[in-house]
Amino acid sequence: MGDAATYERDGHVATITYNRPEKLNAINGEMRRDLNDAWERFRADEEAWVAIVTGAGRAFCVGADLHDGAGSAGTWPGSFWEIPTVNSFESGMEVWKPTIAAVNGYCLGYGLTAVSACDFVIAADDAEFGMPEVRIGAPTIVGAMRLPRRVGMQYALELLLTGDRIDAARAKEIGLAGWVVPRDRLLEEARTLADRLCQGAPIAVRAVKEMAYRGQTLPWVDAVRMGETMRRVALATDDAAEGMRAAREGRPPEWKGR
């Protein structure tokens, strides 16, 4: 893994950082590979229970780096253009651990697509959101699939079809951001939420998140059957036994993630 995107873990909380601040964290081929590596690492890291994703410097991510071949098909090895399928966090990699976007400054294009893929969005008061692709003649595809589920069709199409930007207050108003905080408290607030999410047994948390998403698209009976199967598997874990013991003994549980 290179330096264009970084992965750090503190306790059970991982932080994935877009790390090209001199380019406002525009995504080039190197960053695309590093981001994919970081998300794969988070998914495989059994000690990482929650992820925070943010940007270094004064921007979260301004989308594709148009000065580095990002707009050309076949430019990035392993990119969507080379393998048009689910091959990144943004395009639908299954990550059932909770994810938090801590959005600082500009959040545009594929940066906003990544934010739309996160479970929770905390925006700094200086954040700006937008999908400018149509203004350069490029259709937004994955973003067009994600945004309507996040904010509803009308607000999604306003962003997708105009290319206009909205500020943090408007993002919260339409449901894109859950919280708006002062810039200097952004990562502190994201970490506070991450620590709250670590209070639940990690396997149970992942099962609930998966059902929350899959249950939106499965037929009702199929969803209930899947959920009951997952519940029985989770109840057979060491953490479930520990949770019952801790409740009987009146103490906080000590989760092991197994």
The per-residue pLDDT for range 196-224, each reduced to its tens digit, is 999 999 999 999 999 999 999 999 999 99
| Per-residue pLDDT at 83 | 56
- Classify burial at 252, counting beta carbons within 10 Å of its beta carbon; exposed 0-12, middle 13-18, buried 19 or more: exposed
Looking at the fold, whether 179 and 96 belong to one and the same domain comes out as yes
CB 186 within 8 A of CB 128: no
Does 52 share its domain with 67?
A: yes
Q: Comparing C-alpha atoms, which of 41, 58, 54 is closest to residue 2?
A: 41
> According to the model, what pLDDT value does residue 67 have?
80
Residues 134 and 244 reside in one and the same domain: no
Angle formed by the axes of helices 153-162 and 142-151, nearest 10° = 140
pLDDT (0 to 100) of residue 80: 47
Can you tell me the mean pLDDT for 75-93?
Answer: 66
More confident residue, 85 or 2: 2
Q: What's the confidence (pLDDT) of residue 66?
A: 84
Residue 173 sits in the same domain as residue 193 = yes
The verdict on 145 and 87 lying in the same domain is: yes
Does one domain contain both 90 and 216? no
Note whether 104 and 159 are same-domain residues. Answer: yes
Q: Which of 66-70, 80-84, 167-171, 222-226 has the lowest mean pLDDT?
A: 80-84
Residue 56, domain extent: 5-197
Least reliable range by pLDDT among 28-42, 73-87, 105-119, 140-154: 73-87
What is the total count of domains within the chain?
Answer: 2
Residues 110 and 209 in one domain: no
| Statement to judge: residues 60 and 76 lie in one domain | yes
pLDDT category of residue 5 using cuts at 50, 70 and 90: very high
pLDDT band of 70, cuts 50, 70, 90: very low
Nearest alpha carbon to residue 123 among 163, 174, 167, 61? 167
Give the residue-averaged pLDDT of 75-90.
Answer: 62
12/241 Cα distance (integer angstroms): 21
Question: Is 258 within a domain?
Answer: no
Say what the pLDDT of residue 82 is: 54
pLDDT for res 194: 98
Quick: pLDDT tens for 99-149: 999 999 999 999 999 999 999 999 999 999 999 999 999 899 999 999 999
Same-domain status, 46 and 167:
yes
In terms of C-beta density within 10 A (0-12 exposed, 13-18 middle, 19 or more buried), how is residue 180 classed? buried
CATH number at residue 242: 1.10.12.10
**Residue 44 located in a structural domain:** yes
Would 256 be classed as within a structural domain? no
pLDDT number for residue 123: 98
In a domain, 257, yes or no: no
Give yes or no: residues 117 and 234 share one domain: no
Residue whose C-alpha is closest to residue 54's, from 126, 87, 5: 5
56, 74: one domain: yes
